Amino acid sequence: MSPGSGPHTAERRGRPRDSGTDSAIIETVLRLMEEGATIGALSIERIARETGVGKATVYRRWSGKDALLVDVMKSLEETAPPLKGESVRNDLVSCLEFARRRGLAKRSSAVLRNVLGQIHSNPGLWGQYQETVIATRREAMHEVLRRGVHTGEIRPGVDLDLLSDLFTGPLLARAVLRPDGSLEEGLQEGLSEQIVDTVLAGVAPPPVAGG
Could you give the CA distance from residue 32 to residue 28 in angstroms, rounded to a whole number? 6
Three-state DSSP state, 1: coil
Cβ of residue 47: shortest distance to its own copies, in angstroms?
A: 16
Which residues ranging from 12 to 51 are in contact with its own copies (CB under 8 A)? 35-38, 40-41
Q: Which stretch binds its own copies (CB under 8 A): 4-12, 19-27, 48-56, 164-172?
A: 164-172
Residue 110: which of 209, 33, 20 has the closest Cα? 33
**Please, how many CA atoms are within 13 Å of residue 167, restricted to the half-sphere of its CB?**
30
CB of 27 to its own copies, least distance (A): 19
φ, ψ (nearest 5 deg) of residue 122: -150, 85
Q: Which of 126, 142, 184, 193 binds its own copies (CB under 8 A)?
A: 126
- Alpha helices for 43-172 (secondary structure H): 44-51, 55-61, 65-75, 88-104, 106-118, 123-129, 135-151, 160-172
Out of 179, 181, 189, 205, the only residue in the binding site for its own copies (CB under 8 A) is 179
- Give the C-alpha separation, 200 to 89, whole Å: 8
CA atoms of 129 and 138, how far apart (whole Å): 13
CB of 181: closest distance to its own copies in angstroms?
Answer: 13
Is 177 near its own copies (CB under 8 A)? yes
DSSP run (H or E) holding 201: helix 191-203
Report if residue 116 touches its own copies, rule: CB under 8 A. yes
What is the distance between the alpha carbons of residues 158 and 156, in angstroms, rounded to a whole number?
A: 6
Instruction: State which of residues 121, 146, 152, 205 lies at the interface with its own copies (CB under 8 A).
Output: 121
Closest by CA position to 158, among listed 145, 172, 171, 170: 145
d(CA 127, CA 182): 29
Total of chain residues touching its own copies, rule CB under 8 A: 40
CB of 122 to its own copies, least distance (A): 9
The residue among 26 and 203 lying less far from its own copies, judged by its C-beta, is 203
Binders in 183-202 for its own copies, by CB under 8 A: 191, 194-195, 198-202
Residue 163 Cβ vs its own copies, minimum distance, rounded to whole Å:
8
Residues that bind its own copies (CB under 8 A): 35-38, 40-41, 113-114, 116-117, 119-121, 126, 134, 158-159, 162-163, 165-166, 168-174, 176-177, 179, 191, 194-195, 198-203
